[in-house]
Amino acid sequence: MFDGFYGRLRQQTGDRWLHYIHHPFVRQLADGTLPASAFRRYLTQDYLFLIHFARAYALLVSKFQTLPEMRAATRSLNAIVDELPLHLRYCAQWGLTGKEMAAETEAPETLNYTRYVLDIGHAGDALDLLTALMPCVAGYAEIGIGLLNDTQTVLTGNPYAAWIENYGDPLYLSGVQASLTLFENLAVQRGGASRFEALAGIFATATRLETAFWQMGLDAASTMPEAR
């Protein structure tokens, strides 16, 4: 799944990518030790993030000129929009309501990441925009698969087991594969090889912003009281 042009970008990102997929936030999810306040902060900001992520995919649709490409991008857009009610139901298990999360102020990390992706989309073409989206789309799949196959991951009694299983679920992974296929085709059509340096810069920046998003959640554990 993680080869081709995407694999080249991932490899080029080096240690920055490894820090993203093995961040302490992720490791604490895996062993169930992540403070609940950190996870609630993450869930709230992720809800706001997903709204802008949907906007980015709507923008991506407008960047295409052929119906097959538009349909592929629209499927990803619909998947995000359809995910929001599921996200809300999951958040409710953590005492978070849609109204409360919608009223929450966007964290600087959320603003930085989402507006960067949208800015790339407005300034560049479909390949630029999809490059900025891929660290999230494919990165979460790699994290999900990695955690499910890691013997050190605790699922029994882990309050974050459902989150882990969601991102390793075959249905989610099939959507990721569809996005990767679109990306690989686009890289061929839009001269990705000749633009590699610039695209690698976009990919690396998005990866750094993803990592900062994890850290934002982790930092909340030291500033927010634990709910009982």
Q: Above 90 in pLDDT, residue 117?
A: yes
Q: Above 70 in pLDDT, residue 209?
A: yes
Q: Above 70 in pLDDT, residue 225?
A: no
Average pLDDT over residues 139-157: 96
What pLDDT band is residue 2 in, cutting at 50, 70 and 90?
Answer: confident
Share of the chain residues as helix, strand and coil, in percent rounded to the nearest 5: 80, 0, 20
**pLDDT given for residue 224 in this prediction:** 57
pTM: 0.93
Q: Say what the alpha-carbon torsion angle 157, 159, 162, 164 is, to the nearest 10 degrees.
A: -100
